[in-house]
Amino acid sequence: MLKTLLPMWRPRERELPASAFVMDPEYVTAPAPRILWIELTSKCPFDCVFCTRRTRFGAGRNMDFEIFRRVIGELDAPDFISLNYSGESIYYPRLPEAIQLAAATGASTEVVTAFSSISPSVLREIVESDLDRLAVSLHTMDPRQYQQIYKFGSLDRLKQRVDEFLKLRSDLGKVKPRLDFCFVAMHDNLDQLGPVAEYARSVGAVELGIHPIIGRHLVAQDFSKELAANRLREEFKDALRRTVASVEAAQPGLTLNVLNPDLDPAPRLSHTPGYFSPLLPEHARIHTCDQSPFESAHILATGNVVVCEVLDEIPMGNLADQSLREIWHGEGYREFRRKYVNGGVPECRSCVWKKPYIPGAWSSAIIVADGMSPQLLLGWHAHEGNEIIWSKKQALLALSNSGRKKKIRIAGALPPGFMGGSNLLKIRCNRVTVGEIRNDTKDFLNFETTLPLPQVWDRLYLELVTTYPHRPCLHGSSADSRDLGFALQRIEAFG
């Protein structure tokens, strides 16, 4: 309880030039969460050595399905919905209905599961559903070690269930759900990363997510070889880097994603936002993070809405008392966002998943080849170091217009529409429609166009919405499962 009573730490105020770019949380916040982790249940028969579920939630509980239904009804074109958190979702009694409601929003949907104890009926229901991704947690290929880690189920049963899943999906002529695997990396199972990766590739998986053990809450297991004061030890990071490099060389057809930026041996802070795992310096500001409070939220089985996994003991509100939108736009969330962007939340200052930047001057142009701009505010995929950056279905950016320009010029690429039909990129400036870009072809459309501004504003907040997101893995072009809006090359105030 003490944690909820401590005041948020405020950094010493450092004056920024009047021309410095500063995020406006009120403008940046999405109308409703677009990225959600919804805990259908906190019940689970497994008792994994790294999991704090049992000590924190005991026997656990199921989410009230009417609360779930109401939440889904409040969403506005969400991007991603994960139907799990601490519990085992395959035991939620209304899982198929939950999947269908989530999928009907158009969001990419996911269930993460230990899988070995799934019943044949639930397995069929999942394959027959519109679920996009099934991620199986697999931390070893050693049967004895499997029992030591999970304390329930068996490796043989997991492999049988995977075979049944693949056969059923093939028999039904389906390509979804996509099968991926997740691996929690610990000192004692690092030698199993190679066998797990080999197995994952052998059953057709294209991605293996690697989660180094974290130490947010106390568990009975001793993780002193991996952690010191809840941070990864340098020795463990070195061992994990070597192991990942070796497995990548041995399994070239499998993508290994290490989902912890703390493994970066040379973190760098600059004027462009990027992962920076050390403590946030006083002169820096936070742009976003892996669980941004501007577009993502966690909803627990209790109905509590929390900002992220790190702060999941501090509810912003409960859905038994308020609607999701009331909580999302409530004063608690708004105050949190104000402190977040200024580095005023201690947990965020020290979080390894933050993406901070050193504030620089507002710019009237964003040229993607120059790097990730902090003025790319919301709805952008990670910059991959080339001349374009992909938006999500909805995106937001900001430009300075101190030169009182009367037009904007934008260049990029727009994917084709659904089933070869038209696709539109609609553009609004300061909530006023300024134009659209249309792709009537069956191919990607490269474009460069100039659009007039209805009014000469000093600051331009540009909303960009595509009608149909493009998911490469569903079009056979790659294993990329992201929903891509359009590719931005450059944009500027002009004329």
Does the structure show a pLDDT above 70 at 17?
A: no
CA neighbours within 13 Å on the CB side: how many for 26? 1
| Mean pLDDT, residues 148-166 taken together | 97
Using pLDDT thresholds of 50, 70 and 90, give the confidence band for residue 477. low
Q: Which tokens in the block code for residue 167? A: 């056969």
Exposed e or buried b for every residue in 62-82, given b needs 16+ CB within 10 A?
bbeeebbeebbeebebbbbbb
Strand 389-400 relative to strand 487-494, pairing: antiparallel
CA-to-CA separations, 411 to 24, 159, 406, 450, 455, in angstroms, rounded: 26, 48, 17, 9, 21
Percentage of the chain lying above the pLDDT 70 cut: 95
> How many C-beta atoms lie closer than 10 Å to residue 171's C-beta?
9
Dihedral of alpha carbons 384, 387, 390, 396, sign: positive
pLDDT beyond 50 at 342: yes
The reported pLDDT for the residue numbered 8 is 33
What pLDDT is recorded for position 248? 96
Q: Which amino acid is at 144?
A: R
Mean of the pLDDT values across residues 359-375? Answer: 94
Closest to 79 in 3D by CA, of 100, 99, 109: 109
More confident position, 335 or 15: 335
pLDDT above 90 for 420: no
Taking residues 33-51, what's their average pLDDT?
96
- Indicate whether 9 pLDDT > 90: no
Q: What is the pLDDT of residue 400?
A: 95
For 397, what's the count of Cα atoms within 13 Å in the CB-facing half-sphere? 30
Q: Is the pLDDT of residue 381 over 50?
A: yes
389-402: average pLDDT: 95
For the segment 396-406, what is each residue's pLDDT rounded down to a tens digit? 999 999 999 99
